[in-house]
Amino acid sequence: MSTSVEKSAFGDMKYDDGKLVADIIFDDFADALEEVMKVADGGAKKYKRSSWRTIKDPSIRYQGARARHFTKSFREKVDKDSKLSHLAHEAWNCLALLQLEIENDRG
């Protein structure tokens, strides 16, 4: 979280205390995020955009896919079907699981 206070030449101030530094994830993980975007794009083209939300038992399915890609990442870098990184697939599955958990907790 940010702890800065910014004062402009006009004398006004912007307080960022307690706010998340949103751009840090894009600065630090731009390449990794692009790989995850490729996985998301491939899934949207292969199935349908956001169809991951409507499958039966999504948490069970994404836990399984996450585990499969994690396990395969030790033996091979790239998924044979998509030609994308197993770690990017695993990250996508983690994001899907996290999103489902947040939405479920929200009610």
Q: What is the pLDDT of residue 101?
A: 96
- For 69, residues 6+ apart whose C-beta sits below 8 A from its C-beta are 79, 86, 87, 89, 90, 93
Q: Per residue in 20-37, pLDDT tens?
A: 888 999 999 999 999 999
Q: Tell me the Cα Rg of the chain.
A: 19
The pTM is what?
0.82
**Encoded tokens for 30:** 């731009």
Calpha distance 82→39 (Å, rounded): 8
Range scoring the smallest mean pLDDT among 1-10, 61-70, 72-81, 84-93: 1-10
Distances (CA, A) of 17 to 2, 3, 6, 25, 75: 5, 4, 10, 18, 45
